[in-house]
Amino acid sequence: MSAGALKESATGGGRELVQPISTGIVAAITGFASSFVLVIAGLRAVGASEAQASSGLLTLCILVGVACIALPWYFRMPISFAWSTPGAALLVAAGATTDDFGAAVGAFLVCGALIALCGLWPALGRAITSIPKPLAGSMLAGILFPICLAPIQASIEQPLLALPVVLVWLMLYRLAPRWAVPAAMVVAAVGIGLTAGTDWLSAPTSAPAAVFVAPLFDPLVIVSLGLPLFVVTMAGQNVPGFAVLSTFGYRPPPRSVLVWSGAGTMVGSVFGAHNINLAAITAALMASPDAHRDPSKRWIATVASGFGYLVLGLGAGLATALVAASPPILIIAVAGLALLGALVTSVTGALEQPEHRISAIATFLVTASGITIVGIGSAFWGLVVGGAFMLWLGWRTPRAVS
């Protein structure tokens, strides 16, 4: 190969990396920004001091970052992790359960052990990940749909900030699609800076420190907090996470994923972290064609998001101040723009088989409704309702006319 050809190849390879890396960075920022306040509120609700809550957030960022780098690198799949947002909401709701953070840490540790057990028990792991494609696609669409409405809502609530973001995204999606989302993020950051001025720079920027918390195993707290946290995490995060990857054609080994996340939760629990698990919404961004047109290279986006989480964790003070200066709807709006391609893919897959379209629509409607029953989110109930529809309508398949 000539020197010119080598140079062209290297330049092309560099350009090929821009799209997945920028997608991963966007995913890390949106994942962190959308729920870190809820994490701190949840930890504080079950007895954590300010230092312990900061330690928990730092530990979660490190665990998620390491997991997003190690597993995708090894398996060459966009296997992405996150902390459990439904789990953090559960902590807020369970504030009356305990004011002893050591007992809460013991419940976190038990939750991690149960997640790891799901990975070590192959039959249980297969049961969790064996989801029909119409149900998986429609559940993912239901998860993404409210997020993808955010650009419309933001354009009404914050027109001066949101409309430039949407217009820049739309223009570049027509002219240079791979730059559309990164450019939208830049415009959003500029808008935040102009609106907030320099006040956010005066916020404390010292890095939080990891604080060890000795676990206490209180049977009542384990039953009332640890077990519900396990159920919510499996039903509301890990099942949708596997479904998202399945929708885009990836089949990660359940044992490795669940054992890794369970063990990570156990290690992180003694530093205040409640738990980590498969990502769902941000996973859709990094596993979709928006991350890279070649499915074999989308894992690069997840690795980039892992490094993004490490940076966000170690610089939590400054990153938190900037995000806190933004209207929450604006951050979600950028995520919605980034996820439009994934929404199209999931809807197309869900409705591909005509005989299962009613079941798929039922799954979508229940999931998109956002209902919560007995502490379990709408993604799980969407699968339950869709599965029931699929079984019932399957039984009533018309017989051939003789």
User: How far is it, in rounded angstroms, from Cα 240 to Cα 225?
Assistant: 22
Conformational region of residue 47, where left means phi above 0, alpha means psi within -120 to 50, and beta covers everything else:
left
Is the confidence at residue 324, as pLDDT, over 80?
no
Provide the 10 A C-beta neighbour count for residue 357. 15
How far apart CA 185 and CA 191 sit, in angstroms, is 10
> How far are the Cα atoms of 19, 209, 287, 312, 335 from residue 81, in angstroms, in the given order?
20, 22, 12, 15, 17
- Both tokens of 110, joined, read 């038990």
List, for residues 2-50, the tens digit of each pLDDT value: 444 434 334 455 567 788 888 888 888 877 866 776 787 788 888 888 7
Which pLDDT score is estimated for 197? 64
CA 176 from centroid of its chain's CA atoms: 26
Look up tokens 């350009």; give the residue. 15
Q: Check if the beta carbon of residue 289 is closer than 8 Å to that of residue 19.
A: no
- Residue of 30, 156, 14, 153 whose CA lies nearest to 85: 30
- At 298-308, the pLDDT tens digits run 999 999 999 99
Asked whether residue 225 carries a pLDDT value surpassing 90, the answer given is no
Residue 263 binned pLDDT confidence (cut-offs 50, 70, 90): very high
Pairwise CA distance, residues 269 & 89, whole Å: 17
Partner residues linked to 373 by β-bridges: 376
Instruction: Write out pLDDT tens, residues 118-131.
Output: 889 877 666 655 66
Average of pLDDT values for 237-260?
87
pLDDT at 223 over 60: yes
Average pLDDT for 308-327: 70
Tell me the CA end-to-end span of the chain in Å, nearest whole number.
Answer: 67
Which range of 46-50, 92-96, 107-111, 314-318 scores highest in mean pLDDT? It is 107-111
Check whether 398 has a pLDDT greater than 60. no
pLDDT of residue 13: 54
Model confidence, pTM: 0.67
Averaged pLDDT, 250-257? 88
| Pairwise CA distance, residues 16 & 132, whole Å | 33
